[in-house]
Structure 1
Amino acid sequence: MRTMSLAAMLIASPVALAAAAPAFAQATDPVFTGPRVEGILGYDHVGAGSSVDNDNGRDDQSIGGLLYGIGAGYDVAVGGALVGIEGEITGSTAKSDRRDYSADFGFGRVKQGRDLYIGARAGILATPETLIYAKGGYTNARLNVLAGSTSQTTDTDFDLDGWRVGAGVERAVGPNSYAKVEYRYSNYQRGQVDYVNGATSSRFDVDTDRHQVVASYGFRF
């Protein structure tokens, strides 16, 4: 319930701001519209889901590290608001760092692998050069299983399906470039195992949380 309330607040925030500030109902500056690409860098934290309460066991662990990747999107002005679609692919340095075997939040010793995201965002102008927005969509993350040494991975992975919500501020740097800061929360609820021989397990329930704080720099065309 707590995470769903967070999602509702993040998605509703641009609408509430627009209702409270009619002055925002102006044509969105073209600097925020059109196709865009960006580089992404930030902090990544992955752990047991919010429904897990295990104070003394190894199942309530987490991993953290550096998030990096690239993203792309397309934005259009609709009345006084901006709406768009976007996608990204990221990697992460987050991994288990203990030598002894432990059941890190239910997956064993793992390293955060690639993450795929596709979704939508909507925002309004706080100033002619500043956009405030909320976002949401689908995310698929991979956890690479670590071998006997935490510096090596096996060919076995966990693939996790979930949803993501977030909010951020984007600032126009020039006529064709921008910088932004963003917080994102993801929750993964279904997973499967990809085995060394290419086989996959049946899908099963998981509850894995992910928190990210990122900065991006990009260009529009």
Structure 2
Amino acid sequence: MQQGRILILVDRKRFPAMRNILLSTVALSAMVGSALAADLPSSKAPPVYVAPAPIFSWTGLYIGVEGGGDFRQYKDRLGAVTIDKDAGLIGGVIGYNWQTGGYFGINNLVLGLEGDAAAVLGGSKAFTTNGNPIVNDTFNSNYAAAIRGRIGIPAWDRALLYVAGGVAFGDAKVRTTVGSVTNDRVGYTIGAGVDYAFTPNWIARLEYRYVDLGRENYTNVDFGGRDRLEVTSHQVLGALIYKFGAPETAVVAKY
């Protein structure tokens, strides 16, 4: 019995050490198992690839058709009258845009040069007083054209807000009882508008322009002397434009 008691006491003293050995063995087995599991092929599906959003650029040559309203005003000096004439415009436009992309310290500024020409559609307008013609003189214009520079800032999704200005061309026709006189004129134009690219190549436009074709002298037979006619115009135009060039490109990620 004494020996049994001694053995039991010895086992109790050794038990903590055995417990530590057992726990260490379990921990080591868990680490080995985790390492082996990491080397096994994953059963999870790969992440879904999301293509980066494409970049639209305004750079490129473009052509289009345009049309709208022409609210023209004639001021005659001798007749001391101002005549307002509402007409239509229909024509074409060609131009080139360059998107700076950070040059000159300005990001995405759009610079452009554009030319356009349109026919002025509408009848002649006569001198009147209180709605009644007082002479046979009538005023008319046949065409309107311009060469303009443009500065724009991309906004929203694919919209371009811009201002434009340059040289305007046009004519003024005065018909009298003995004939008619037509003179071509050079003036200036300023305006603003918005372009919207609803596809990578097709662009819609809405624009306002002010045109001043200046003052020119002519012989007014009905009034018996030299006369002077001033022509100005407010134009509201819409256009459908096709932009040439490569399609938009995707964003390339850098690591």
Task: Report Cα offsets for 1:67-125 as digits up to 9, x if no partner.
Answer: 1110100000123210000001111113324494658xxxx412221122101001001
Task: Report Cα offsets for 1:152-210 as digits up to 9, x if no partner.
Answer: xx6731222210000001100211110010000011224366xxxxxxxxxx9753221
Give matches, 1:1-221, under 5 Å: 29-30=56-57, 32-48=58-74, 59-78=81-100, 79=102, 80-98=108-126, 100=133, 102=135, 108-146=137-175, 156-191=181-216, 207-221=230-244
Partner AA of 2:139 in structure 1: V
* C-alpha deviation, 1:53, in angstroms: 10
The 10-residue stretch of structure 1 (205-214 or 113-122) with the greater mean CA deviation from structure 2:
205-214
- CA 1:192–1:90 in structure 2 vs 1: closer, same or farther (change >3 Å)? farther
CA distance in 1, matches of 2:98, 2:210: 25
Preserved contact between residue 64 and residue 241 of structure 2 (Cα < 8 Å): yes
Q: How many residues align?
A: 171
CA distance in 1, matches of 2:207, 2:77: 28
CA distance in 2, matches of 1:180, 1:133: 11
Task: Report Cα offsets for 1:38-82 as digits up to 9, x if no partner.
Answer: 111100011146xx999xx66211111111110100000123210
CA distance in 2, matches of 1:190, 1:53: 10
- CA 1:164–1:205 in structure 2 vs 1: closer, same or farther (change >3 Å)? farther
Preserved contact between residue 187 and residue 208 of structure 1 (Cα < 8 Å): yes
- CA 1:73–1:102 in structure 2 vs 1: closer, same or farther (change >3 Å)? farther
* C-alpha deviation, 1:33, in angstroms: 1.7
Q: Percent of aligned positions with the same letter in both sequences?
A: 25
* C-alpha deviation, 1:133, in angstroms: 0.3
Partner AA of 2:90 in structure 1: Y
Preserved contact between residue 210 and residue 235 of structure 2 (Cα < 8 Å): yes
Residue 46 of structure 2 corresponds to which residue in structure 1?
Answer: none
CA distance in 1, matches of 2:88, 2:62: 23
* C-alpha deviation, 1:144, in angstroms: 3.1
Q: TM-score, normalised by structure 1?
A: 0.67
Instruction: Indicate the structure (1 or 2) with the bigger Cα radius of gyration.
Output: 2
Preserved contact between residue 41 and residue 214 of structure 1 (Cα < 8 Å): yes
Partner AA of 1:35 in structure 2: L
CA distance in 1, matches of 2:138, 2:215: 19
- CA 1:97–1:155 in structure 2 vs 1: closer, same or farther (change >3 Å)? closer
Q: Where does the alignment leave 5 or more consecutive residues of structure 1 unmatched?
A: 1-27, 149-153, 194-203
Q: Kindly indicate whether structure 1 or structure 2 has the higher relative contact order, using CA contacts under 8 Å at least 6 residues apart.
A: 1
Residue 95 of structure 1 aligns to a residue whose secondary structure is coil
